[in-house]
Homo-oligomer: A and B are copies of this chain.
Amino acid sequence: MDDPRWLDETEMAAWRGFVAATNLVARHLERQLKEDAGLSHTQYEILVQLSAAPGGSLRMTDLADRLITSKSGLTYQVTQLEKAGLVARRSCPSDVRGVFAEITDQGWSVLRAAAPGHVAAVREALIDVLAPAQLAALAESLGTVSDRLRAADS
């Protein structure tokens, strides 16, 4: 801490770009989803994760890990989605403590309706802005970053 290695120009540019892009993209998507589908990005991600899981359901903890939010935050959002009828809770046969969140038919409908607009927004904000080579490099770099941080957390 006494003699930190400050960031050089490129490093600073990468960091500034990361922070700015992060916030701008998040805001862009949040607004699009809210306006067009009435969902927050978090809620949309919950539906996506469930829809991709076998049986359309996941344990709460698994879901929290994939979403990278706190357990209590997930409890809250799943409750909201349950009230809206997009998700249902089911108890886990093998572990009484366990709870499955399962996407409902209505959840599927909402997700299918929301997906095209969401994908378009993702393209507009990130994908279509970059050349294919840039995109591949981005995927690899950010994959590395994610893997490292996930490993560090455990």
Task: Please report A residues at the B interface, Cβ cutoff 8 Å.
Answer: 1-2, 4-7, 10-11, 13-15, 17-28, 45, 67-69, 115-117, 119-120, 122-127, 129-130, 132, 134-146, 148-150, 152-153
Q: How far is the CB of A142 from chain B (nearest CB, A)?
A: 3
Are B24 and A116 in contact, CB atoms less than 8 angstroms apart?
no
Known contacts: A17-B139, A24-B68. The answer to whether A144 contacts B130 by CB under 8 A is yes
Known contacts: A132-B10, A135-B10. The answer to whether A142 contacts B18 by CB under 8 A is yes
Which residue in B67, B125, B138, B148 is a CB contact (below 8 Å) of A129?
Answer: B148
Are A119 and B4 in contact, CB atoms less than 8 angstroms apart?
yes
When distances are taken between beta carbons in the complex, the residues of chain B under 8 Å from A152 are 28, 124
Which residue in B17, B69, B120 is a CB contact (below 8 Å) of A146?
Answer: B17
Are A138 and B139 in contact, CB atoms less than 8 angstroms apart?
no
Are B139 and A4 in contact, CB atoms less than 8 angstroms apart?
no
